[in-house]
Structure 1
Amino acid sequence: MPVYCITGANRGIGLEFVRQLAQSSDNTIIAATRSLSSDLDDLKAVASPSTHTVECDTSNLQSIHSFVKDTSRILGDKKIDFLLNNAGVNLGSWQNSLALGPDELHALLAVNVIGPAKTVELLLDAGLLSADARILNMSSVLGSLQRSSGPGPRQYAGYSISKAALNMLTVHQSEDLKQHLPGAVVISMHPGWVKTRMGSDAAPLEPSESVEQMLKVLHRVGGEDTGTFCDYSGEAIPW
């Protein structure tokens, strides 16, 4: 029975991951949400008997520590086979590089970069990652330096900066984990422009299509793929 751990699981892409994975009773799911006092009706509606909802505010180190302890208690001798670092924010989207708000940028880096870094670190320290763990860091094509360097106006400066930093984190994690989990694979993935609260109704992709394709990619990646950046269909994206 594979174990999946998903952060930001109560809405959007994270919720769709839970919905699709919960359709198989073989899957144990750790569904992490920023607060257990949030509206979790949608998550409860799609959860399976083997879905466990836990609190994890990825911007708060103490919350991540508590999440790891809760996850250890729930799993017992089991380990996480698939870790989906999905939680993310897009703040100050109107700001460009000449008018970045420090508070917004700090918050973006806390959630989008430091959160995934400490989540992997603390789960590893607790012995909760399987020897062949697959780790997906949810990135964005906006984090591609090459794609962003062409002519034309830039978009979402702070968000783009945080996702470029997340991509670099992926490269470092892919190498650093080898001495602990030689079979582990870490990838950055762009989910596409998806109809979510962050993506808006103007997006062309339904969450179900994006997640279905991402799971196919996640289930087929091998050692040669660690430290790479791709879109939801598996197509490589330049750094």
Structure 2
Amino acid sequence: MPSYVIIGASRGIGYQFLKTLSRDPSNIIIGTARNVGPIQAKVTADKLTNVHIIEADLDSPSSLHAAAGQTSKITGGAADYLIVNGAYLNDHLAAFKPYDFLGKEEYFMEQLDRSMHTNVAGVLFAINAFLPLVKKSIVKKVIVISSAMGDIDTILEAGVDVSVPYSMSKAAVNILVAKYAVSFKNEGISFLSLCPGMVLTQVESYEAMTPELIAQYDFLKQLFRNIAPDFKGPMLPEESVEKQLKVINNLSIENTGAYLSHKGTKEWV
């Protein structure tokens, strides 16, 4: 029975991983969240009977180690797939360019510290906590959900000069994943930085989008049309996760450490 651990499963892409993977009754799925109550209620309502919810926080190494211990008891000691999804993103900074932080240096440092702590250090904490379980697996796959916002070529070609702290953290986490890939290649553990594409995660349907959210995605859509002229806008989580799982299934030790899109290429949208 394959086992999946989804770090950061309370909503959006993370919760969709739970829903999609639960369709196969042979899967054992662990989802983590800072606040277990609401997500457990959703899991129960959606009748995801092979999903287990455990409390954990990317900013808390002790909670991640405790979650790994609980996971081990559920799975029999191993974790086949570790998917680290949780991240910090401040939507209020979506339109901030580097020069916009002039006179706001303390705010920039606060946001950079928080982004790096959760999106980079938190990933390291999570991987280190669950690696003993991954090592006991036959599959041995670790996936970190990244972003095209951390890709230098995309930034230059699309003209994306916004979301500065978030983008910096995603570039950094790609480096971290590559370091892990080098460290554990000889042990047969495959690592991947995976961009999910542009995904609507704040609400559950296009119809539920607020005018502010529509404007935010329209702005990004116009930027990414510089590299993909036919780009139509964000996917829903279900479509993204289905595509991501195909990439994950194709991951092997030969391409460990890669940074790929939901298409399995460098085509980000």
- The two structures have a TM-score, normalised by structure 2, of 0.79
Normalized per residue, the structure richer in strand is: 1
Q: Please state how far the C-alpha of 1:178 moved relative to its aligned partner.
A: 2.5
Q: Which residue of 1 aligns with 2:97?
A: 96
The reply on whether 1:172 has 2:183 as its aligned counterpart is: no
User: Which secondary structure does the structure 2 equivalent of 1:57 belong to?
Assistant: coil
User: Which secondary structure does the structure 1 equivalent of 2:112 belong to?
Assistant: helix
Q: Please state how far the C-alpha of 1:37 moved relative to its aligned partner.
A: 3.9
* 1:26-55: CA deviation from partner (whole Å, max 9, x where unpaired): 100011112224454333333532211001
Please, which runs of 5 or more residues in structure 2 have no aligned partner? 204-208, 218-232
Q: Which residue of 2 aligns with 1:62?
A: 62
User: Which secondary structure does the structure 1 equivalent of 2:6 belong to?
Assistant: strand
User: Which secondary structure does the structure 1 equivalent of 2:137 belong to?
Assistant: strand
Q: Which moved more, 1:3-12 or 1:216-225?
A: 216-225
Q: 1:143 to 1:67 in 2, by over 3 A?
A: same
Aligned residue runs from structure 1 range 175-190, under 5 A: 175-179=182-186, 182-190=187-195
Aligned residue runs from structure 1 range 1-239, under 5 A: 1-38=1-38, 40-46=40-46, 48-77=48-77, 79-91=78-90, 92-98=93-99, 99=101, 101-125=108-132, 129-150=136-157, 152=159, 154-179=161-186, 182-197=187-202, 200=213, 202=217, 203-236=233-266
Tell me if structure 2 keeps the 8 A contact 1:56–1:64.
yes
Q: 1:46 to 1:129 in 2, by over 3 A?
A: farther
Normalized per residue, the structure richer in helix is: 2
Tell me if structure 2 keeps the 8 A contact 1:10–1:42.
no
Report which of the two structures shows the higher radius of gyration computed on alpha carbons. 2
Q: CA RMSD in A?
A: 2.3
Q: 1:111 to 1:68 in 2, by over 3 A?
A: same
Q: What CA distance in whole angstroms lies between the structure 1 residues aligned with 2:53 and 2:29?
A: 8
Please, which runs of 5 or more residues in structure 1 have no aligned partner? none
User: Which secondary structure does the structure 2 equivalent of 1:158 belong to?
Assistant: helix
Q: What CA distance in whole angstroms lies between the structure 2 residues aligned with 1:84 and 1:220?
A: 15
Q: What CA distance in whole angstroms lies between the structure 2 residues aligned with 1:88 and 1:143?
A: 13
* 1:118-176: CA deviation from partner (whole Å, max 9, x where unpaired): 11112224666524311111000000022223474501000000000010011001111
Task: State the one-letter code of the partner of 1:194.
Answer: V
User: Which secondary structure does the structure 2 equivalent of 1:31 belong to?
Assistant: strand
Q: Percent identity of the aligned residues? A: 29
Q: What CA distance in whole angstroms lies between the structure 2 residues aligned with 1:236 and 1:154?
A: 20
Q: What CA distance in whole angstroms lies between the structure 2 residues aligned with 1:163 and 1:84?
A: 15
| Regions of 4+ moved over 6 Å | none
